[in-house]
A and B are shown apart, each in its own frame.
Chain A
Amino acid sequence: MTREELLSKKPLRILEKIKENLESINDKMEIMIELQKHSHKENPILPDAPLDVMTLLSMPDHLRKTAMTICRYGRATAEDVAQQTSRARAVESAYLNQLVIMGYLKKERKGRKAYFYADKDSQG
């Protein structure tokens, strides 16, 4: 690779890195916003609460839709859920993070993607 080629690739890589970092900051901010919402309410945060059908029944409608999509897929990104529910990715991302805070879902990062799942043993 020539010196010119190397130089032209570098800014691209820097931009990609910046984008990655921004996405990671965005995710963290969504969690912080949700946490803040929760701190006003008296809802206890349950660690590792099972996402069973009775829990699904008692959830507010908007969260049930998101949670049921995760149940169906086993493991999915906010993008996958958004495709299924026809809502915006950012909206699903916020709902998914809220479900993580409530203890019903877990989040795992793989590269640039964040995957959500209810239970390690029943991932699709």
Chain B
Amino acid sequence: MGKIIAVHSYKGGTGKTLLSVNLAASFAKLGKKVCLFDLDFRAPSLFSILEVDDAQCWLNDYLNGACDIKKVMVDLSSRINGNGNFFAALANPETEAIRDMSAKDRKWEMRALGRLLSLRNTLLNDQEFDYLIFDTSPGLQYSSINAIVTADFVVVATTGDRSDVSGTRRMLQELYNLFEKKTGLVINKVLDSTSKSKKNEMDTRIKNVYQVPMLGLVPCFCEILRAEGNLIFVQDKPNHPFTKILEDMAKRIDNNQIS
């Protein structure tokens, strides 16, 4: 049976969307059937990154109980090389929709959790998807915690920023532990990642500070900034080191080699 992976972080700007899109594309390149979900309802971005403007329904509508998940998913398989399937379910970027989503009550959030959990049946069981990837909002928000509770595995993106380190540590201990979630940490925007001393420092930090398995170190690449969000890196730059790192992460998740 397939898996649900949530990509989350304590602070914004840690690279969740970059990781989600490229992880999903890496799985698709491995021949998997994947759907990428934009659960960042406060700042939707996948519609723009994936250049989709013909979605029949938004993910917002599905969570509102107004439409079927099949009407939300857009087939983008033609954008990826190989025989995998790449779908996306997008959040509505209109200001009115963002305002509406941030004003939901607890009962709605409870039902939204039920609808996310039921994707396990409709997509993983019935439609035989291999991976559902949830790109979330940073921090402790309803939509993100709903995504974490639903997921089988959570990828936590973090950087070396002081405020991010302490916040991420607290979040891992006080949120993920309570829900007994399997977690993998990605440290993004690492400077001098090739130097041995830096690698050792990172290893020690992960062991002492975060106490969760490491999924990967992603160096700071100027090419990613230069691309200005116009590229799906693992697809458009197949030989770039970033692509290699992401493909390695996808393979390790797929082979259950996170420790």
Contacts and interface: CB of A to CB of B under 8 A. Distances in A.
Interface stretch (A1-9, A66-74, A108-116): A66-74
A52 B114 contact: no
B107 interface: yes
A89 interface: no
A56 interface: yes
B178 A52 contact: no
**SS class, residues of chain B in contact with chain A:** helix
A122 B115 CA distance: 7
B109 A53 contact: yes
B250 interface: no
Nearest to B114: A122
A52 B115 contact: no
Given A61-B178, A64-B178, A68-B179, A53 B114 contact: no
A15 interface: no
B145 A53 contact: yes
Contacts of B109: 50, 52-54
Contacts of A72: 117
B118 to A, nearest CB: 6
Contacts of B149: 53, 56, 68, 71
A50 B118 contact: no
Instruction: Tell me which of B107, B113, B115, B118 has the highest count of chain A C-beta atoms within 10 A of its own C-beta.
Output: B113
A68 B109 CA distance: 14
A47 interface: no
Given A50-B107, A56-B149, A71 B113 contact: yes
A51 B179 contact: no
B81 interface: no
A56 B65 CA distance: 22
Given A71-B113, A119-B114, A121-B111, A50 B121 contact: no
Of all A-B residue pairs in the complex, the 8 with the closest CB atoms, nearest first, are A122-B114, A53-B145, A52-B110, A50-B106, A50-B110, A50-B107, A52-B106, A52-B109
Given A52-B110, A57-B178, A121-B65, 10 more contacts: A50-B107, A50-B110, A53-B149, A56-B179, A64-B178, A71-B113, A71-B117, A71-B149, A118-B114, A122-B114
